[in-house]
Chain A
Amino acid sequence: MTSKLLIAAILGAATCAAPTWSAAADTVKIGCVAPLTGPQAHLGKDIENGARLAVDAINATNPTMGGQPVQFELLVEDDQADPKTATVVAQKLVDEGVKGVVGHLNSGASIPASRIYADNNVPQVSPASTAVAYTHQGFPTTFRVMANDSQQGKALGLYATRLGKRVAVVDDRTAYGQGLIDEVVKSVKESGGEVVGREYTTDKSTDFTAILTSLKAKRPDVVVFGGMDPQAAPMIRQMRTLGMKTAFMGGDGMQSAEFIKLAGRAAEGAIGSSPGLPIEKMPGGADFTKRFGERFGKIQIYAPFSHDAAVVLTQAMLRAGSTEPDKVLAALGKTKLDGVIGPIAFDDKGDLVDGPVTLYKVKDSKWEPVETIGGPQGK
């Protein structure tokens, strides 16, 4: 059945100049991949629902491609947040003839899958992967509608220097932690701050008293940590027991409910960043929440992003008037539209231009947004 549709689509594309042929609309397949089982299943479903809302809305406008009526069909796959499964389902989607993909969620899945999409000239727009490496592999097919870790590091560094000029950094020696802190260091120096100490730990440590004491001697105004919540929570506790009243900041690895649970009262005042805007602040947030709520219920995190990823992809095809990869990729690169999440345009790597990063602060055991850096508000 699907192969017949595919043939019909190809025939349709090939013969679109002949007006006599078209009785029914052509179908263009769009892939959508996210973890739909396992601990992140709720986030994956969020991505699927967001993309579905976008595709159905576009289909309802009776779009035409090269003068020919066209309908988009969403093919959904589960990558289980696993790099190996990600490549398997990527190949499956390619074999089924998708013309573009919304996905994946995890950087660890997006990166291996991106090679398969690139080899087959299928444009990929990730709604959630933030690792810098994803768009920096030299593939023309990789795009994302979320700020990357480099933009996040920049925002953290900028905000840190506003709290005080003397900044100390700690990273956990993982690709994520180290990459984030490298960007923070660069950004602190650019914003006129001084990096007074750089210490290291691992992603398995629980005792940070030695490195914190050594940082205490350097009298920093802010400590920025690149790593995950199981380290960030004991770290802020130990800072407080060492009598350090220094501000504590970190990236999205610690901007979690888990961090507050593990750090307890010590979490108060900690600052964590997360890519994107909080939904209340998104230009199309209120309307999207209403439309999404009527059909699917509560938004987790990623639905607005996957919605816009699907919009960006389908709009590029409609503007190109074709599903031919070269034309679609060229159109994608020139994307300039106002999505739910704000204005969307890509740089030459496929990264979101001026991707916004929001800083949150723990107040009464809850993360509360304090400021957004970059994006429409930053202008």
Chain B
Amino acid sequence: MDIFAQQLVNGLILGSLYAMVALGYTMVYGILELINFAHGEIVMLGAMVSVTVLGVLAGVGVPVALALPLSLAAAVAVCMATGVAVERVAYRPLRNAPRLAPLITAIGVSIVLQNLAMIVWGRQYLSFPPILDVQIYDWHGATVTNIQLLIVAVAAFTMGGLLILVNRTRLGRAMRATAQNREVAGLMGVDANRVIAATFAVGSALAAVAGLLIAAYYGIAHYNMGFTLGLKAFSAAVLGGIGNIPGALLGGLLLGIIESLGAGYIGDLTGGFLGSHYQDIFAFFILILVLVFRPSGLLGERVADRA
């Protein structure tokens, strides 16, 4: 039973990370109906920048309590700037183009960012400086570390903050209006360009936070880390219902838990016929199953077929 509890904890942590990245996909899709494939690369930038800044600060003896917020601030600044610039340069000129054009552009941006990071940081793996004191807690036979608790707390906190932003603030109302109908919102005095830029900025800031947490948890950062992560988070967003913010959280957590349980038990359940390398098949099989019966995802309501 303690093994099952541990697998649930593993899935919860992985799922929280997926959910945080999935939020970025879902926000952009909600407002533009664009799948921003470059979002995984923004997370990578967040990880690379925070690890680099942290390494420099720790090297000159800045205390952890100061170095951590500073590196996060640097990562958020770089990611927001990149996210907004990508929107301005690559997506805005194509806003009225056929849907395929921005999609292909997004893939192109992802490749460009990956290669830029490779040029800046090189091909080697960066290691997260050993400044965090990892505490291990035992909880009903499952182990949890303080970093893992931090990940869950930050995921819950950003989630709540985002819901408040979208549902309770002026900017949120403008975002919802733009998502429903850009022209009419424009007639009502909403500056669509600014709202969309703000959406990219918020999504990229979340990506920076996710990047820092991922680097801290796994201890490494690499120019290539955003690709698989982005794909998984995108699947999570689709699973939960892309465009729906609680859906991203639900999809992320579900995907994380399914993957953990899949990898943990698939070998035993099939008597060794299928090994743990089939964990992705397991996760994507569930994704397909959900999409067959609920094409707009678990929490998706509106069938996304306008434009």
Contacts and interface: CB of A to CB of B under 8 A. Distances in A.
Report whether chain A binds chain B. yes
A241 B145 contact: yes
A309 B279 CA distance: 45
A230 to B, nearest CB: 5
Interface stretch (B24-32, B164-172, B200-208, B260-268): B260-268
B219 A237 contact: yes
B7 interface: yes
Contacts of A211: 263-264, 276
B13 A209 contact: yes
A287 interface: no
Max chain A Cβ within 10 angstroms of own Cβ: one of B3, B6, B225: B6
A253 interface: no
A28 B69 CA distance: 67
Contact of A216 (B3, B136, B138, B260): B3
Q: Is the interface of B mostly helix, strand, loop or mixed?
A: helix
Contacts, number: 87
A207 B232 CA distance: 13
B219 A214 contact: no
Contacts of A214: 3, 7, 263-265, 267-268, 276
Nearest to B5: A213
A206 B263 contact: no
Contact of B220 (A199, A202, A206): A206
Contacts of A55: none
Interface stretch (B93-101, B113-121, B124-132, B155-163): B124-132
Contact of B277 (A173, A206, A209, A261): A173
A206 B136 contact: no
Contacts of A198: 267, 275
B36 interface: no
A210 B259 contact: yes
B247 to A, nearest CB: 23
A204 B275 contact: no
B222 interface: yes
A265 interface: yes
Nearest to B260: A210
Nearest to B257: A210
Q: Is the interface of A mostly helix, strand, loop or mixed?
A: helix
Contacts of A102: none
Nearest to A243: B143
Contacts of A258: 124-125
B153 interface: no
B218 interface: yes
Interface in A208-266: 209-211, 213-214, 216-217, 230, 233-234, 237, 241-243, 258, 261-265
A202 B124 CA distance: 18
A243 B3 contact: no
Interface in B1-49: 3, 6-7, 10-11, 13-14
B228 interface: yes
A201 interface: yes
B145 A206 contact: no
B134 interface: yes
B212 to A, nearest CB: 15
Contacts of B279: 210
Contacts of A207: 14, 218
Contact of B6 (A202, A216, A230, A263): A216
B105 interface: no
B138 A264 contact: no
Given A200-B276, A241-B134, A241-B143, A206 B13 contact: no
Given A214-B264, A264-B130, 5 more contacts: A206-B220, A206-B225, A230-B222, A233-B220, A262-B125
7 contacts: A173-B277, A206-B225, A207-B14, A241-B143, A241-B145, A242-B6, A258-B125
Q: Which 7 interchain pairs have the tightest Cβ spacing?
A: A200-B277, A210-B263, A209-B10, A210-B260, A214-B264, A217-B3, A264-B130
